[in-house]
Structure 1
Amino acid sequence: MKRTTFRMAQRPLADDIRLKLGTLSPAERRVARVLLAAYPSAGFETVSAIAERAGVSAPTVLRFVGRLGFTGFPDFQGALRRELDARNASPISLYETAGEPSSTDSADGLISRTSELLSAALVKTLAEVPPHDLRSAVALLSDRKRRITLLGGRFTHLLAQYLGLHLMQLRRDVRFLPDRDVERTAALAALSRRDVVVVFDYRRYEETNLAVARLTQESGGKVIVFTDTWLSPATTHAEVVLSSRVDSPSPYDSLVPTLAVIEAIVAGLVGTLGTDAHEHMKHSEDVARRINLV
């Protein structure tokens, strides 16, 4: 029986660089920060250009890529190109790469393959969530002085709505970024230091999400980005980045691991908000009852 496979999500080189920062020499750290500051485009510059920008020698750049496990600079750039190919993949390109799926897969085989892929993706995602970022997300979203705005993409607007509806039951000042141009412009023009904007942005990343993240940071607000392992460009402007694996038995990226991260955050919010969340829920239930919604 033919078994169709789709590309697995790999950790981006940016993550490897961040993880090694503490083990690098001061000169190598300067190279790492140059690459991270303009990731991934900086990685396609010449060795001499990177060395000049970092204020180090060319051999230092080569030692740095060796620390990442590459045999040379062309090897490093080749890995970066493969990462960009995966980062820009669409469902149709993944479908064509894998070949036509079999119509003879048994239900048992499909369930087994789905269980294997999603279980592994879920375990890896939760293991790779930085505790600091998770704590920061809960702290920002539970701060009752802040206003929360959420937005997503083609499919991930569903996740934004899922998190947002939970937030609305637990606290005040939660909204979704409006779709209509005048309302959206007004909401973004009113951004200030009290705002937290939650962005869901997965590959093929959307320019609108990047622009909103940039505007939020410029206004003094905080940005939380949920993204995949290749990292949305919006992460450049983020206070908190929560990445998830997207491995799937189909050419469509799975949102299951991200949903698990959201569930963890909701649990953290319930614990942090405590009796305030309980009182807010009771008040909401009372209002819903009075207008015959429950």
Structure 2
Amino acid sequence: MSHGTLADEIRRNLGELSPAERKVARVILAGYPSAGLETVASVAERAGVSGPTVLRFAGRLGFGGFPEFQAALRSEMQEREASPLSLYEAAGVPPGDSDEGTLLARSGATFSTAVARTLAELPAHDLETTVTLLGDPKRRIVLRGGRFTHLLARYLGLHLMQMRDAVLLLPDRDVERTAALSGLDRRDVVVVFDYRRYEPDALALAQLAAERGGKVVVFTDTWLSPASAHADVVLPSRVSSTSPYDSLVPSLAVIETVVAHVLAALGPSAHDHLRRTEATARRIGLV
């Protein structure tokens, strides 16, 4: 695969598949990733095609057969579930560069490549849709972060609060969070940050928002959060790092890109809102 997940590869090749092979692709994408681990006979029955069609589908993706496709899928699923501990134990002790220049060069190469690839692979349509949704003054923006990614949710939320009204960071306390989510409706845009190891509440929140008719934007990694199944927009980022911890640097670059475009889309209204917030902050002695 050139980059991304097997799901990405399947989507990129849909136009090259025969009608019958596209049926197989849709069955696998609809139940991704578990559907891809079923038997050839089971996938064929669900897609309404023959067994050989399933085998040809795998061949179209460059695999020697369906078992090879499934092996690649299992490997991807193991990467999805990786933790800092498992990554540390798999790689051993990180190299201790005594030369500061070597350390900086290695970090620079890793992070710059991850950011460049993330932005190059970012679907333009999804970026444009995100900007449209976040810049719509008739919609409320609700942001949810995770164990580490609450930092990203807060960062994006604080920027949006300076540009527009109706921006809510989900509170941590159960009663407050429940109250905030009880009022979700079709006017809401729920922004979910969820990276491996994925958190169950992210999936539940995305599903709830979709059921209520709201829009869902998911920031995630290249293996895709399960919440992506209910998303209108998915913005994946590379997480390459020089440590066992996944890097959020590329995701921050995506957020900065979104912020810049939302500001431009809002135009004079964002300027007016910034001016009012600045005046209010001065009035109450915060600046």
TM bin (shorter chain): over 0.9
Q: Distance in 1 between matches of 2:211 and 2:99?
A: 53
Q: Distance in 2 between matches of 1:15 and 1:155?
A: 26
Between 102-111 and 151-160, the greater mean CA deviation after superposition: 102-111
Q: 1:287 to 1:124 in 2, by over 3 A?
A: same
Aligned to 1:72: 65
TM-score normalised to structure 2 length: 0.98
Moved over 4 A (4+): none
Is 1:266 matched up with 2:254?
no
Of 204, 209, 212, the residue aligned with 1:211 is 204
Of 113, 121, 129, the residue aligned with 2:122 is 129
Tell me if structure 1 keeps the 8 A contact 2:97–2:103. no
Of 70, 83, 88, the residue aligned with 1:90 is 83
Q: Distance in 2 between matches of 1:106 and 1:94?
A: 24
Of 11, 16, 23, the residue aligned with 2:9 is 16
Residue pairs, 1:31-180, within 5 angstroms: 31-180=24-173
Q: Distance in 1 between matches of 2:54 and 2:171?
A: 46
Q: Distance in 2 between matches of 1:254 and 1:103?
A: 19
- In the TM superposition, what is the alpha-carbon distance from 1:25 to its structure 2 partner? 1.0
TM-score normalised to structure 1 length: 0.96
Q: Distance in 2 between matches of 1:218 and 1:105?
A: 54
Aligned to 1:192: 185
Q: Distance in 2 between matches of 1:104 and 1:140?
A: 45
- Where does the alignment leave 5 or more consecutive residues of structure 2 unmatched? none
- In the TM superposition, what is the alpha-carbon distance from 1:188 to its structure 2 partner? 1.0
Supply the AA of the counterpart residue of 2:48: G
- In the TM superposition, what is the alpha-carbon distance from 1:73 to its structure 2 partner? 1.1
- Bigger relative contact order, structure 1 or 2, given CA contacts below 8 A and separation 6+? 1
Aligned to 1:226: 219
Give aligned pairs, total. 286
2:193 is paired with a residue whose SS is strand
Of 215, 236, 244, the residue aligned with 1:243 is 236
Q: Please give the root-mean-square deviation of Cα atoms over the aligned residues, in Å.
A: 1.0
- In the TM superposition, what is the alpha-carbon distance from 1:10 to its structure 2 partner? 5.4
Q: Aligned residues: percent identity? A: 65
Supply the AA of the counterpart residue of 2:7: A
- In the TM superposition, what is the alpha-carbon distance from 1:23 to its structure 2 partner? 1.4
1:191 is paired with a residue whose SS is coil
Supply the AA of the counterpart residue of 1:136: T
Supply the AA of the counterpart residue of 1:205: Y
Supply the AA of the counterpart residue of 1:255: L
Supply the AA of the counterpart residue of 2:162: Q
- Where does the alignment leave 5 or more consecutive residues of structure 1 unmatched? 1-8
- In the TM superposition, what is the alpha-carbon distance from 1:286 to its structure 2 partner? 0.6
- In the TM superposition, what is the alpha-carbon distance from 1:104 to its structure 2 partner? 4.4
